[in-house]
Amino acid sequence: MAEELVGNSYDGTIEAPSLGLPVVNIGPRQVGRERADAVVSVEHDHAAIEAAIECALSDPAVRAAAEAASNPYDRGHAGERVAARLAAVPLDEALMRKRLTF
């Protein structure tokens, strides 16, 4: 099992909190996006990245915060909501017609 997630992917703000993983987010790519308390952001700096990784691996408080963090994107019942939305789509010829946008 993974001990933490390191990178600049949106996965760090969506999936990792549901797994109780601490996240080291590198760089500004995810700035302004909602995130769980388990996400720590650092600049593109070798020393800062290394320190954040070590902290996420060894600091019991960081590990506990990650395990207790709630995922701000997990609103529950996603399968049921997706199925209901798909069931509401009319299965007619308009669905099959390609729309060109310029």
Angle subtended at Cα 65 by Cα 36 and Cα 41, rounded to the nearest 5 degrees: 50
Q: How far is CA 28 from CA 32, 42, 44, 72, 95, in A?
A: 9, 8, 9, 20, 38
Give the residues of the chain that fall short of pLDDT 70. Answer: none
pLDDT given at position 92: 87
